[in-house]
Structure 1
């Protein structure tokens, strides 16, 4: 496993800055996780 596979980045950005590919990822219904699940630093 490389270092790139171990690190994940999380950002918040206005939709006007997203690419078409990124916007397409927003179309599916979100998966709701249980309250105990880690939500990251933006939660």
Structure 2
């Protein structure tokens, strides 16, 4: 899932998820070849 899909699912803003990752509140999410985050079921909140 893309960051926009996860953000919509949990009524968050994508920037909020990026911030949480940046400050260490959530682990880094794997990225695809273009550098976009690809959330898996085990990455979900």
TM-score range, shorter chain: under 0.3
Which structure has the highest helix share of the two? 2
TM-score, reference length from structure 1: 0.21
Name the structure, 1 or 2, with higher relative contact order (CA <8 Å, separation 6+). 1
